[in-house]
Amino acid sequence: MNRSKTPIIGITLGDVNGVGPEVIIKTLMDQRITEFCIPVVYASPKIFSFYKKLLGYNEFNLFIAKGVDQLNAKRPNVLVCWEEEIEIKPGEITDIAGKYALRSLELATADLKEGKIDGLLTAPLNKHNIPAAQGGEKFIGHTEYLAHALSAPEHLMFLLSSELKMGLATGHLPLKEVAGKLSVEKIVSKLRVMKKSLFSDFGISKPRIALLGLNPHAGDNGLLGTEDKDIIAKAAEAAQNENIYAFGPYPADGFFGSRQYKSFDAVMAMYHDQGLIPFKHLAFEEGVNYTAGLAAVRTSPDHGTGYNLAGKNQASEISFRNALYAAVDIIRHRHNSDEITANPLPFTPLRRERFRIDF
C-alpha cells in the first residue's frame, strides 16, 4: 500500500442470488465512503443494473473499471470480471451463482496477494453451491480459502463488535471432533495470533484474553471431562510464560451471564457455536468477521446469504458497512504499528553516575 494514498478495498460479489448485491449498493450509496477508502467490487456492472432496477436505487452508479490501475478515487468502482449475461434468481440456490461467486473471490484474492488492493471485504456466499463450480472440490469457507491462498497456517477467525472481540480455537468442525482437535500447543498458537492481532490491528498493547471452558462448568474439576484442566488451563499457563495475558478456563454460561467478558479485551471460545451464539446475541446486526493472522486484511459481514430477504429491499447493510470501516481501520492500525516497531533504538542501560548530584 502506498501510505500517502487512500486504501483500496476490494469487495467480492458473494452469491448473486443472496443479499450481497443489496448490502453492497446500500453501503456504497453513502458518498462519505470515498473519504476513507476507494471501494472496488469484483463483479459485472450488469449485476448492479439488475438490482438497481429491482430495488429502486436508480440513482446508484458505479464507475466501470477494466483494471485496478483504472479506478476512480472519488466514486465506488466495479471491476469487470466477466462480460457474459448470467441468470439472476433472488432467493434461489443455483450452480451459476456459485460459479460467479467463486470467480469474484479468485480474482479479488489474486489482486490482494499481489498488493494491488490493500484489503478485502467478502460478501456472503453459499458453501454448498461452490463445489459445483469447482468440479466437486470441497469449499469449507472464506476463512479457510484465504488462509490457504495467503499461506497462513496460523490464522484465527475473529468476530468483532463494539462490545466484544471473540476468537475461535477451532473453526468449521463437527462438534464431535472438537475435543480431539484441542491441544495445549494449538490453543497457545491461536493465542499468539490473537495477541499479535490485538496489538498490530487494534492498538491494544497488553491485551487480557479469557479462555472459555469446553465442558459444562469448565469440567467441574474433572467430573464432567478432563479437557479443561488438562488442556485449556495448561494452555493459559503456557501462554502466560510467553507474556500472553490469558486466563481461564471460564464456564461459558456464567461468563456471559455475569457479563464477565467486559473485563477482557478478547475472548477465546473452544468451538464455533460456543463463540458465535453469545456474539450474535450481543451484535447480530453490527458484528464483523475478521481473519486475523493473514499478511493482508480481510473482513466480512457477520451474516449469510439471507435468501429469504434477497430482492425484497429488506436486508440491513449495517454489518457490511461496519466490515468496510473495520478493514480501513485495521489497515491504518497496521501501518501505525509498523512505524512504531520499525528500526527500534538499541537499549542502552543508564549509568547512574550521570545523574548523581554532589552536595
Residue 132: pLDDT band (50, 70, 90) is low
Residue 349 domain flag? no
Does the pLDDT at position 184 exceed 60? yes
Residue 349: pLDDT band (50, 70, 90) is very low
Residue 338 is predicted with a pLDDT of: 61
Instruction: Read off the pLDDT of residues 191-233 as tens digits, 9 standing for 90 and up.
Output: 999 999 999 999 999 999 999 999 999 998 899 999 999 999 9
Same domain, 111 and 160: no
Same domain, 77 and 17: yes
Residue 139 is predicted with a pLDDT of: 84
Residue 351 domain flag? no
Mean pLDDT of 165-190: 95
Q: Which of 7-16, 32-41, 126-135, 342-351 has the lowest mean pLDDT?
A: 342-351
Nine cell digits for residue 75: 466514486
Mean pLDDT of 335-342: 66
Mean pLDDT of 300-324: 95
Same domain, 132 and 11: yes
Does the pLDDT at position 250 exceed 90? yes
Does the pLDDT at position 135 exceed 80? no
- Give the chain's mean pLDDT: 90
Report field, pTM of the whole predicted structure over 0.85: yes
Same domain, 268 and 311: no
How does 26-53 read in b/e, with b if 16+ C-beta sit within 10 Å? bbbeeeebbebbbbbbbbbbbbbebbbe
Does the pLDDT at position 246 exceed 70? yes
Same domain, 136 and 44: yes
Instruction: Read off the pLDDT of residues 138-152 as tens digits, 9 standing for 90 and up.
Output: 788 898 899 999 999
Instruction: Read off the pLDDT of residues 24-64 as tens digits, 9 standing for 90 and up.
Output: 999 999 989 999 999 999 999 999 999 999 999 989 999 99
Same domain, 233 and 113: no
Instruction: Read off the pLDDT of residues 107-120 as tens digits, 9 standing for 90 and up.
Output: 999 999 999 999 99
Does the pLDDT at position 327 exceed 80? yes
Residue 3 is predicted with a pLDDT of: 42
Same domain, 114 and 233: no
Asked which of 247, 265, 288 is the last residue of a domain, the reply is 288
Does the pLDDT at position 1 exceed 50? no
How many domains is the chain built from? 2
Same domain, 223 and 141: no
Residue 128 domain flag? yes
The CATH number of the domain where 175 resides is what?
A: 3.40.718.10
Q: Bridge-partner residues for 267, per DSSP?
A: 166, 210
Report the Cα 349 to chain-centroid distance in Å: 42
Same domain, 180 and 298: no
Does the pLDDT at position 353 exceed 60? no
How far apart are the C-alpha atoms of 109 and 200, rounded to whole Å?
22
Residues spanned by the domain of 317: 1-152+294-337
Residue 309 domain flag? yes
pLDDT greater at residue 267 or residue 2? 267
